[in-house]
């Protein structure tokens, strides 16, 4: 449980650092391009790269936490009772 909380805090802090411009675009542009090439969608323009990186992080948080919630609901004490 602590690991999940720490991962969420790290991703939120990373999103804030990217959104505020503290982290230069060169630091995360490679990760954004790899994600886009892996899925097969077009790369964002250089001026939208920052917003796209924040959207990717928010999406990963939402999907990951939703999957963990679903796992808990399906296997937790409520499902067994």
DSSP character at residue 26: H
- pLDDT value, residue 80: 67
For residue 28, give the nearest of 9, 7, 55, 3 by alpha carbon: 55
Mean pLDDT by groups of 10 residues along the chain of 81 residues: 92 94 85 87 87 92 95 81 59
- Asked if 16 contacts 61 with a C-beta cutoff of 8 angstroms, the reply is no
Written in H, E and C, the secondary structure of 24-53 is CHHHHHHHHHHHHHHHCCCCCCHHHHHHHH
- pLDDT value, residue 67: 96
- pLDDT value, residue 5: 93
- pLDDT value, residue 25: 79
- pLDDT value, residue 64: 95
Domain that holds residue 29: 2-80
What's the domain count of the chain? 1
Give the whole-angstrom CA distance, residue 62 versus residue 36. 19
- pLDDT value, residue 81: 59
């Amino acid at each position: 449980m602590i690991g999940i909380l720490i991962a969420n805090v790290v991703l939120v802090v990373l999103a804030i650092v990217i959104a505020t411009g503290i982290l230069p675009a060169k630091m995360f542009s490679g990760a954004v391009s790899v994600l886009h090439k892996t899925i097969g969608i077009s790369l964002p323009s250089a001026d939208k790269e920052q917003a796209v990186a924040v959207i990717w992080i928010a999406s990963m948080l939402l999907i990951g936490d939703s999957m963990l919630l679903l796992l808990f609901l399906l296997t937790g004490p409520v499902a067994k009772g």
